[in-house]
Structure 1
Amino acid sequence: MTAHGTLDSDTTRAALRTIRTRTELPVSFVGLVDDDRLVLRGGIGLRTPALSGLPVARGAGVGGHVLRTGRPTAVADYGTAGITQHYHAQVHAEGLRAMVAVPLAVNGVVRAVFYAADRRESTFGDAVLGAVARTVRDLAYELRVRDEVERRVRFAEAAAAERSALGGVDRELLREVFSELRALAGEISDGAVRSRLESACGRITDFGRGSDGAAPATAPPRALTVRELDVLAHVALGCTNSEVAQRLSIGAETVKAYLRSAAQKLGTRTRFESVTRARSLGLLP
């Protein structure tokens, strides 16, 4: 499975910087999975182009071993380690000796292998391996969230495109997707994904305005904040304050505060009036 489209250069480089900071090792680099091999792409602290674009076969070298087993691997000295020596010349040209490699797995599929390395012989302890593993684990979580956002965005876009054929049950399903999309938005920092997410949410709310897609005749006196709209989206599904708090990972009192501020802006008195008003303004589907 190719990871090139998922692991963009900014995300990769940020992870490599974190690895180098946490391990205090001079070199970090990454190999992206391309079919049944790794292709080394980018690094921090490298002095030569010897490893740039190098294809690494499954089972060969440190990274190939990780790709085959799906488990982290460390060697104290690459030149004398009990691994295949397919890439000895390239590693020697870069002057690397000690090396640790950790797989990035998302939903059980390895998408990349992250390396940290030293130019001296060294036996890495649990602190170094743990630092790399923690960074890769954090990145895997972000990618899982991205994948889920992308899946839901695709669904929402397809459903919105077919809105003329939707019935009441489908409308409720769209409302569920809308609230889940907004909840996921709070868990991801990637600007491009968030932009697609907001676009999809906008298309869903367009559905709630009717087939002509006309804008509401009136607008709230003050714009709702992102979090106020997130809370209303879940209230619209019938969630209690405690359920909203759990879904959005905030406190129940915070949910009440958002509901109060939203009601003040919308000129409503109850949570359900707020939902109705928000829908009439095209803010909710």
Structure 2
Amino acid sequence: MKTETPSPRDELLDRAVRELARRTRFPIAFGGFIDHDIAAVGSIVGAHTNALDGLAVRIERGLGGRAMRELRPRMTGDYGTATQITHDYDRWILGEGIGTLLAVPIVVEGRARGVLYGGAWGRWNIGGVATAPAVKVAEEVAAELRIRDEVQRRLALAPAPAPALPPAHQEELRESYAELRRISAAVGDPELRARLEEVERRLAGLSGVARPADGDAAGVTLSRRETDVLARAALGETNAEIAEHLGLKEGTVKAYLGSAMSKLDASTRHAAVARARRAGLLP
């Protein structure tokens, strides 16, 4: 029987729910991302029943909805008698027998993008011991979503191939290329990184520079970091500036530049950039 491959978004949620359970020691953990103001629970760990299946939480409704509206964690040690929340979802929560419940919103740029829950049967003394690590997991998910948002934005803005670009547009293209590589280095999702690499290749071919002749950097292959460093050097940045942008030590930047220059048979960084462009390795 053919099974459907989980999407990167589903995998991110699954990892987050498992991490919340591991770090907080809550016996039950679950969560979901928001679509059209509803967070449909898409991952569940530790449940004893199927009662949580199909749970979809609206913003402002229930404990999770309140957390998403207020953009801060909400908890109750006795869900069944809690008076500070609506009880729209009692059928699901009480059906699983959950008494203690913590809801932590996933917040990106001041907007709730989802919610993570930690729960237990009966009463637990939660306090900051479990809340703090749960908040940390939500923050890590939010950081990954921010990266994905930026990647999607740049993918949407990526121009179609053209025979040549005016000098001003070439400079803008090179800045975008260098920044895209910086973002790509922070992406852990293999599928998303492969898509980024495809956009990088498209950008590298947009400058209209002639392809290399035989013997002129033909067959040269640069490592990812050598390309990252050379792309920023092409913008006129110093070693210190490159190190700051890429999160490297200045000596490491110098080593990568030296390696790239050696591969390209160039005596200066400017010559290396020129040869890399002729070889189609840089825009």
With over 3 angstroms needed to count, the CA separation of the structure-2 counterparts of 1:270 and 1:166, relative to structure 1, is: closer
Cα displacement (A) at 1:68: 2.2
Q: 1:214 and 1:255 mapped to 2: Cα distance? A: 27
Query: TM-score scaled to structure 2, two decimals?
Result: 0.91
1:230 counterpart residue number: 228
Partners of 2:29 and 2:119 within 8 A in 1: yes
Cα displacement (A) at 1:23: 0.3
Cα displacement (A) at 1:55: 2.4
2:174 counterpart residue number: 175
Show the 5 A alignment for 1:179-198.
179-198=178-197
Taking every aligned residue pair, what percent have the same amino acid on both sides?
Answer: 38
Q: 1:229 and 1:144 mapped to 2: Cα distance? A: 24
The partner residue of 2:239 within 238, 241, 244 is 241
Q: 2:148 and 2:131 mapped to 1: Cα distance? A: 26
Unmatched runs of 5 consecutive residues or more in structure 1: none
Structure 1 runs, 4 residues or longer, greater than 3 Å off: 213-222
1:267 counterpart residue number: 265
Cα displacement (A) at 1:164: 4.3
Partners of 1:176 and 1:237 within 8 A in 2: yes
Q: 1:139 and 1:216 mapped to 2: Cα distance? A: 47
C-alpha distance after superposition, 1:160-186 (max 9, x if no partner)? 34x247311111110110000011111
1:44 counterpart residue number: 45
Show the 5 A alignment for 1:95-106.
95-106=97-108
With over 3 angstroms needed to count, the CA separation of the structure-2 counterparts of 1:216 and 1:195, relative to structure 1, is: farther
Unmatched runs of 5 consecutive residues or more in structure 2: 1-5
Show the 5 A alignment for 1:55-74.
55-74=56-75
Show the 5 A alignment for 1:130-149.
130-149=132-151
Cα displacement (A) at 1:107: 1.4
Partners of 1:37 and 1:55 within 8 A in 2: yes
Cα displacement (A) at 1:250: 0.3
Partners of 1:75 and 1:100 within 8 A in 2: yes
C-alpha distance after superposition, 1:204-242 (max 9, x if no partner)? 1112344xx867645456521100000000000000000
Q: Counterpart of 1:27 in structure 2: which amino acid? A: I
With over 3 angstroms needed to count, the CA separation of the structure-2 counterparts of 1:197 and 1:244, relative to structure 1, is: same
Cα displacement (A) at 1:85: 2.0
Q: 2:72 and 2:213 mapped to 1: Cα distance? A: 55
2:114 counterpart residue number: 112
Query: TM-score scaled to structure 1, two decimals?
Result: 0.91
Q: Counterpart of 2:113 in structure 1: which amino acid? A: R
Q: 1:177 and 1:243 mapped to 2: Cα distance? A: 16
C-alpha distance after superposition, 1:114-149 (max 9, x if no partner)? 001111201211121100000110111111111112
1:201 counterpart residue number: 200
Q: Counterpart of 1:274 in structure 2: which amino acid? A: A
Cα displacement (A) at 1:270: 0.8
Partners of 2:30 and 2:117 within 8 A in 1: yes
Cα displacement (A) at 1:154: 2.1
Q: 2:143 and 2:34 mapped to 1: Cα distance? A: 18
Partners of 1:216 and 1:282 within 8 A in 2: no
With over 3 angstroms needed to count, the CA separation of the structure-2 counterparts of 1:36 and 1:222, relative to structure 1, is: closer
Q: 2:276 and 2:218 mapped to 1: Cα distance? A: 9
Partners of 2:164 and 2:207 within 8 A in 1: no
Q: 1:137 and 1:284 mapped to 2: Cα distance? A: 35
Cα displacement (A) at 1:202: 0.5
Partners of 1:32 and 1:38 within 8 A in 2: yes
The partner residue of 1:89 within 91, 94, 100 is 91
Aligned residue for 1:93, secondary structure, equals: coil
Cα displacement (A) at 1:56: 2.2
1:129 counterpart residue number: 131
Backbone CA RMSD of aligned residues: 2.0
